[in-house]
Structure 1
Amino acid sequence: MTGAPEAVAAADAVVAAVDPSLSSPGVPTSDAVLVTGPWLAGVTSLAAVLRSRLPDVTFVEADELPVGTAPLAVVFAVSAASPVTESDCELLDLAADHTDCVVGVVTKSDVHDDWREVLAADRDLLDAHRPRYARLPWVGAAAAPQSGDPVVDELVDLLRGMLDEPDVLRRNRLRAWESQLDKVIARYRADGDGADRQARVSALRSQREEIRRARRLEKSQRTIALRSQIQQARVQLGYFARNRCASVRGELQEDIASLSRRGLAGFEDGARRRAADVMAEVDEGITTHLTAVAADLHLDAAPAPAQPAPVPEFSAPPLRSRRLETRLMMLLGAGFGLGVAFAVSRLFTGVDPGLAVAGVLAGAAAGLAVTVWVVGIRGLLHDRGVLDRWVVDVTATLRSAAEEAVATRVLAADAALSASLAAEEVAEADAAAGQIAEIDAELREHAAATARAAALRDRRLPGLLRALEAVRAELKDFSRGEFSDASEPNSGRTVGY
């Protein structure tokens, strides 16, 4: 196209006069006219008709134009079936982003009698969408009518007049400048406000707060869990020790109830062995339970003591200190024996008086036997009673020793587990502090980058805004052209673009 370099240079000079650092909008251009529109708008039929009517002009559809290339003009086709939608407006924005010469076409006017009302609605909707579309020329067309020739004369005349306009290239260049300057200004503002970093900054702050909250929550939960486990261990182990001592007391008392004179000598040693077994069982139970507590809390178990819990010392049962009781029992036994002897002798005498001497001797033997038996039985019962009281005292002492062992071991485990938990808390706190430090460092980097972007925005934005104002002023001068109302007879367009 003749005069293209001069027109482009003239448009670039408008921007360079304001900001010499801006040399080009960086948008490749094409000599083709883009025919585009929403689906079922008849774009392909319209492009085919325009190619036949304007063979010297190159018409392309959207998929035929290289990506990022600005067309010479845009023919935006919409169906007369209904007004444009928001997505249709966005499609026009994309097609005419770097092109000022745009024509709106309402297609299928042959089958829709109300196409003029649809055209007026489309004009109002696009005007409300973007002010630049207020001066957009509109025509009605029928590229593939059901009968007759295509109705595209007004569109062809409008395109021919538009493309013959000497300032087409300059206008397009200025529109490309406006679009690019808008994008650059928006990018500088977004960078200066940190808009692109805001999501990452918000995520980092949320992550930092989550780490702190998780640390506080985990610390509280583990401390509560430790206190709870220690209290449960103290209660359960104390109950175990008391229950074991009570069980041993019952077993020993059952043994005493069936104890004979011969078993008295070995009962004390057996009781002492049972007490030692109980202390060993309690000690083993404490170790097992505290090890399980440490495993549940994922802590190092408290070391077992070097020596097992000591067996308490017990005094011997006072079985031999009963001299007065023995004398009394002998007296009572003699009384029982005398009575038995008298009864036996009378029995013999009553049967046969000649057996009086034999009755006396038999009575004396029976009385002696009863006396010995009564004294022996009373002595055994006495010893059983002494042993029963001794067992009660022994088990009471054993219970105190077992409870002391439980309290001592649990207290030591509490101190050891608390120290282990504190060490782990320190390690986890250091790890969390390291994570927070990394997050803070990244936040500082984002803040510094945003500050640099804000400084660059403040430095570059005034010149860019002045350049944008100059470009828009030029475009506004071009928009002051002739207009013919679409309501004029035989006219469906607004001319003056």
Structure 2
Amino acid sequence: MRCRYRPRLAAVMGAGRRGRGATGMTETIDACLAPPSIIRRDVVVVAGPWLAGTSSVVAALRHRLPGRSVLEADELAAGEAPAAVVFVVSATAPLAESDCALLDVVAADTDAVIGVVSKIDVHRTWRDVLDADRALLIERAARYGDMVWVGAAAAPDLGPPVVDELVAALTATLADDTLDRRNRLRAWETRLISGYRRLDGDVEDAGGEARLAALREQRAAQLRRFRLDRPERTIAVRSQIQQARVQLSYFARARCATARTALQEDVATMTRRRLGGVTDEMRRRAVEVSSDVQQETVRQLADVGEQLGLAVEPALASCPVVEVGVAPLRSRGVETRLTMLLGAGFGLGIALTLSRLLADLAPQWAIGGAIGGAVVGLAAALWVVGVRGLLHDRALLDRWVTEITTALRTATEEWVATRVLAAEAAWGRAAAERDALEGADMEAAIARIDREIREYGVLRARAAAIRDRRAAAIERALMAVRAELNR
């Protein structure tokens, strides 16, 4: 299949050439490569960095070359290329990277480039700057090796403008018979280099390097988060369970100790009339302690489950209440007889003492004193027996309260430990289910990311194959154009 660009290529590349050179050039370049889409204008463009003196050079060239159209870079329309480029730089300092980039843009499609170091009337070291600029541009691109450099002072402070060397170099350049062909070859070189870079850009765009990097980072983040979150959640569950176990055990012990202290204080101040109600009071306190421990356990476990994001099963059984029997208020027989004997002795002693005292002081009251002493002794004996019995009952009740509260503490701590263990098992199952769901979601996300990465890889491979097929023709054409330019 013949390409529709064949006649145009022959006209562009072979014009003005005779013999094997033109034929070889036309045959070397692939006929399907589109020619440069530029409009060549017979003008001279003066360009340069800011404050380099381009306006002064333009004015001087227009004055010295009235038959030539001299424009500044911004006066040239897009898609147009000049016949020659005059690049003006200041003698103040060597070229910067932005200055070199400006030259690459302005002279992209033009081979004839003249370098001008301006303001040589002010700066004595302009030749050093010129040498530095020449070396810098040669290092940047080989095409600048044949670039002509001159010094000029288009608008000096004193004397006429110094532009004779510039006018001579520009006139010789424009009069060269090979100028048009060199400019066309340079435009072809730029076109081919742009096409090659565009192919590389298509490969990069097809591969989506930025998107691929983002996908790989997202994949690594997914795996890293899953690997870190699972141990962190496990540690958090264990820590919360241990903390709840310690706090609930301490609460049960403290609640039982508070109840025991309150009951012991009541027993220590209890009278004979109130001894009969101590059993009911003990039962009420035991129920109250069990209820408080159960409520606190349920509340704290619910809070822990909410913090962990895991549900806790309700308690299967309420906190046990210790069975409280009848208070041991009856004393043993031997102790009772011993107490009565001691009381009788104490009362007899008081009676004898009073009767003897009255007999000595008032003998006429001896019989009455004996009777009164007997009554006082009997009352003292009964009081001693009653007080001794009350103290004995209080001691029995104190030991009984200690035994009941100790049993209650043991029962509540056992129930708390059992409840926390059941909650730990429930949380373990819920955590395992949650990990399984998150693992499935993570695997699905990783699979999706891997699929996108493979799709980008396929697109990149296809773009690279297309690039390889087309790059060969571009490389052959570029080698032919550069070989012709070097001639």
Structure 2 residue aligned with 1:375, among 369, 373, 385?
Answer: 385
Aligned residue in 1 for 2:299: 288
Aligned residue in 1 for 2:376: 366
Structure 1 residue aligned with 2:47, among 36, 39, 42?
Answer: 36
Aligned residue in 1 for 2:255: 244
Q: Could you say what secondary structure the match of 1:104 adopts?
A: strand
Which structure carries more relative contact order (alpha carbon 8 Å, separation 6+)? 1
Aligned residue in 1 for 2:468: 458
Asked whether 1:137 is paired with 2:148, we answer yes
Q: Could you say what secondary structure the match of 2:40 adopts?
A: coil
1:81-120 matches, within 5 Å, as 81-112=92-123, 115-120=126-131
Q: Residue type matched to 1:314 in 2?
A: V
Count residues in correspondence.
473
Structure 1: any 5+ residue segments left out of the alignment? 478-497
Asked whether 1:414 is paired with 2:424, we answer yes
Asked whether 1:175 is paired with 2:181, we answer no
Aligned residue in 2 for 1:8: 12
C-alpha distance 345-466 of structure 1, shift in aligned 2 (>3 A): same
Q: CA deviation at 1:10?
A: 2.4
C-alpha distance 333-139 of structure 1, shift in aligned 2 (>3 A): closer
Asked whether 1:213 is paired with 2:217, we answer no
> Which shifted more, 284-293 or 160-169?
160-169
Aligned residue in 2 for 1:233: 244
Partners of 1:332 and 1:109 lie apart in 2 by 138
Q: Residue type matched to 1:132 in 2?
A: R
Aligned residue in 1 for 2:173: 162
Q: Residue type matched to 2:382 in 1?
A: V
Q: Could you say what secondary structure the match of 2:343 adopts?
A: helix
Asked whether 1:314 is paired with 2:318, we answer no
**Would you say the 8 A contact 2:45–2:71 is kept in 1?**
yes
Structure 2 residue aligned with 1:64, among 75, 98, 101?
Answer: 75
Partners of 1:15 and 1:406 lie apart in 2 by 96
Aligned residue in 2 for 1:493: none
Q: Could you say what secondary structure the match of 1:78 adopts?
A: strand
Q: Residue type matched to 1:404 in 2?
A: E
Q: CA deviation at 1:134?
A: 1.1
Partners of 2:265 and 2:170 lie apart in 1 by 121
Partners of 1:168 and 1:18 lie apart in 2 by 21
Q: Could you say what secondary structure the match of 2:81 adopts?
A: coil
> Which shifted more, 135-144 or 6-15?
6-15
Partners of 1:6 and 1:463 lie apart in 2 by 16
Instruction: Please give the per-residue CA displacement for 1:435-466, whole angstroms capped at 9, x wherever unaligned.
Output: 33333232222222222222223322222211
Q: CA deviation at 1:146?
A: 3.7
Structure 2 residue aligned with 1:405, among 412, 415, 420?
Answer: 415
Partners of 1:147 and 1:332 lie apart in 2 by 144
Partners of 1:471 and 1:213 lie apart in 2 by 54
Instruction: Please give the per-residue CA displacement for 1:72-96, whole angstroms capped at 9, x wherever unaligned.
Output: 2211122344443443322211211
Partners of 1:412 and 1:141 lie apart in 2 by 96
C-alpha distance 5-460 of structure 1, shift in aligned 2 (>3 A): closer
Partners of 2:451 and 2:188 lie apart in 1 by 39
Q: CA deviation at 1:194?
A: 7.9
Partners of 1:88 and 1:196 lie apart in 2 by 33
Instruction: Please give the per-residue CA displacement for 1:302-329, whole angstroms capped at 9, x wherever unaligned.
Output: 2443653131112322223622322222
**Would you say the 8 A contact 1:8–1:169 is kept in 2?**
no
C-alpha distance 257-119 of structure 1, shift in aligned 2 (>3 A): closer
Q: CA deviation at 1:385?
A: 1.1
C-alpha distance 130-345 of structure 1, shift in aligned 2 (>3 A): same
Q: Could you say what secondary structure the match of 1:263 adopts?
A: helix
Aligned residue in 2 for 1:495: none
Q: CA deviation at 1:255?
A: 0.9
C-alpha distance 172-196 of structure 1, shift in aligned 2 (>3 A): farther
**Would you say the 8 A contact 2:94–2:129 is kept in 1?**
yes
Could you tell me the TM-score, scaled by structure 1's length?
0.86
C-alpha distance 82-395 of structure 1, shift in aligned 2 (>3 A): closer
Aligned residue in 2 for 1:482: none
Q: Residue type matched to 1:293 in 2?
A: V
